[in-house]
Amino acid sequence: MSYSNSPLIPSYNRPASKVAIRRASSYEDDLEGLLWETLLEFNPQVRDKTVLIKPNFVEPDAQGIINTHPAVIRAAREAFLRLGAKTVIIGEGPGHERDTEGIIEGLRLRDYVGRLKGVFVDLNTDEVSTIPTRTHASKLKKLSLPKSVLSADFVVSMPKMKTHHWVGATLSLKNMFGIVPGNCYGWPKNVLHWAGISRSILDINSTVRPDFAIVDGIIGMEGNGPIQGARKKSGVLVMGDDPVAVDATCARIMGLCPERIDYLKRAALLLGNLPEDKVEQCGENITSVRSPFDILPTFQGLRA
């Protein structure tokens, strides 16, 4: 698990990162096969380990454009189990809605993954341990984090590809806000907002850096995201073991310049690769899948 086992990536002489872009036209596609084949290329070391999948659940969503789709969650869980993981749990602490069970029911998560006892953990209410942050970008000096996250051997961030009305875009790094429990930090994680969102993103991800990221861009959200925007079909899954490189690739697909997204620029100093020449693309290339997202007027400067 990143907090205890992985040092921060040095910002010098860093090898290139690999990011896979895979086309998926709908949630009815063979996503498990697609993820299985892609994970084999990365060869994540998960045999006999505990994997925690961290999707993005925010609030009930009749349109299916706010939350990570359960078909992608199921496919990832099955693929990691097939790779030999001892346990694959799903953990999330929704940022807006206190009724996590209501979100789960609305998503029909049980219809996709089956019985949730022992499989799903509400990170908003899980038992916590308090640990120091590994960076001090924000006002936060320590974080109370769920023991389910801290005890996991391998953490997977699984966001929805969306624009964001405060930081421009929300992807795998911003998704890690959901590991910070609402029982300690309020709804919608108010303490993190007061400490500065972009800087809090860096402190959270430096303390628990995702080991892998899988971004649900099959159908995302554009405009006034992350909850009031419009449906945006991009038809892709984007994944890799460097969350900065994955997010940079997603931003480029969205028609945004990742170097202009404040938290990504900060994260590139310590956590991964941002420059395009330091990201090795496999699968589809960015040009073939680029699908510019509408963005609020205040963020027009992020356009590539």
pLDDT per residue over 64-116, tens digit each?
Answer: 899 999 999 999 999 999 999 999 999 999 988 899 999 999 999 999 999 99
> How confident is the model over 230-245, as a mean pLDDT?
98
- pLDDT for the residue numbered 1: 55
- pLDDT at 2 exceeding the cut of 50: no
Is the CATH number 2.60.120 carried by domain 2-7+23-298? no
Is residue 282 helix, strand or coil?
strand
Give per-residue pLDDT as tens, 121-132: 999 999 999 999
Exposure string of 68-79, with b = 16+ CB inside 10 Å and e = fewer, is bbbbbbbbbbbb
> 193: pLDDT confidence band, cut at 50, 70 and 90?
confident
- pLDDT at 8 exceeding the cut of 70: no
- Residue 285 amino acid letter: N
> How confident is the model over 175-185, as a mean pLDDT?
95
- pLDDT for the residue numbered 36: 97
- pLDDT at 11 exceeding the cut of 60: no
- pLDDT for the residue numbered 97: 87
Question: So where are the chain's domains?
Answer: 2-7+23-298
> How confident is the model over 243-270, as a mean pLDDT?
97
- pLDDT for the residue numbered 73: 98
> How confident is the model over 144-163, as a mean pLDDT?
98
Percent of the chain scoring above 90 in pLDDT: 90
The Cα–Cα gap between 53 and 270 comes to 23
